[in-house]
Amino acid sequence: MPRCSSCEADAPVTDIKTVGALCGRCLIGVVERRIKKDVRLSHPFKKGERVRVIDDGSTKAGVMLALLGSCLGGLPIKREDRKAAISSIEPKDFEGFSKLLLPLSADDLAKDFLRWLFGKDQPDTKAIPFLACLLDSEVEAYAKAKGISSSPTTPSPLRRDILDFESRYPGLIHGLLKASRGFRQPADAGRGPR
């Protein structure tokens, strides 16, 4: 049986390029540390802030809810969960809330950025993609390690192309994510990248 590269335990490991061969316990720790750091640096919460969390029933939403509980459970925020499809989000969903958290990963943001570059859609710049520091493969591995039910998804043609390029050019998705940050800031709404 392969060994965990972090704790060297003889346990089933998940081998993901970005984190290496880790057992479930170590993978959970790595993902939770990355989320805490991303939230602290990118989306600081204030005491008493009203936050709406969108749950679309996906594996990503389950992981986001689990991470909110384990990583941010002690925050003094007023959280309201709402079951809704991400595509049905409207400006009225922001009323009375300072933040809207969506279960979007780095892969989703890279896809949105490419769609925007090729003139397809303008991405929503007001909502916060909570899983932006994680790839889909990391989200799925975390879900498996935590026992969160997951449903198989069929990737879109653009997503398959992105995964193909990522396999040939490791780090591509994170590069696209960095490039997309310029137009995802609320202050830059509608202006696109600089």
Checking if the pLDDT of 18 tops 60, the result is: yes
The H-assigned helical ranges of 43-135 are: 59-72, 106-117
> Alpha-carbon distance 158 to 165, whole Å?
11
Q: Tens of pLDDT along 78-118?
A: 888 888 887 777 777 778 888 888 898 888 888 888 877 77
Angle of CA points 188, 41, 49, to nearest 5°: 80
pLDDT over 60 at 53, yes or no: yes
Banded model confidence at residue 64, pLDDT cuts 50, 70, 90: very high
Question: Can you give the residue ranges of every domain in the chain?
Answer: 42-188
Q: Which amino acid is at 42?
A: S
Residue 66 vs residue 121, higher pLDDT:
66
pLDDT of residue 41: 83
Per residue in 162-180, pLDDT tens?
778 877 887 788 787 777 7
Better-scored residue on pLDDT, 124 or 7: 7
The residue type of 39 is V
Model pLDDT, residue 184? 52
The confidence score (pLDDT) of residue 63 equals: 92
Give Cα 121 distance to the centre of its chain.
20
Percent of the chain residues past pLDDT 70, beyond the cut: 86
Sheet with 50-55, edge to edge strand ranges: 78-83, 50-55, 99-105, 128-131
Residue 187 confidence (pLDDT) above 50: no
Highest mean pLDDT among 46-50, 55-59, 74-78: 55-59
Across all residues in the chain, what is the average pLDDT? Answer: 79
- C-alpha neighbours within 13 Å on the C-beta side of residue 147: 1
What is the model's pLDDT at position 183?
A: 61
Domain 42-188 is classified in which CATH homologous superfamily?
HUPs (3.40.50.620)
